Amino acid sequence: MTVRPDSRYGVSKAFGEALGALYADKHGMSVTCLRIGNVGPKPLDVRRLSI
């Protein structure tokens, strides 16, 4: 799936994931990237409802 960030924050997240992939490929490392979703008693808006 193509990465399509919609903000500078998203670009920084995509960069971190790509950097992890680079190290995994070049150095045989095992890399895990976690995307933590919304945490709260209820979603505050439509965007948070989707996560």
Q: Is 23 considered catalytic here?
A: no
CA 43 to CA 37: how far, in whole Å?
A: 11
Give the pLDDT confidence of 1-51 residue by residue, as tens digits.
Answer: 888 999 999 999 999 999 999 999 999 999 998 877 778 888 888 888 877
**What pTM does this model have?**
0.63
Of 2, 4, 8, 9, which residue is the catalytic one? 9
- Domain map of the chain by residue range? 8-50
Structure tokens of 46?
A: 């439509």
| CB-facing half-sphere around the CA of 34: CA atoms within 13 A | 3
CA 27 to CA 42: how far, in whole Å?
A: 42
Question: Which amino acid is present at 44?
Answer: L
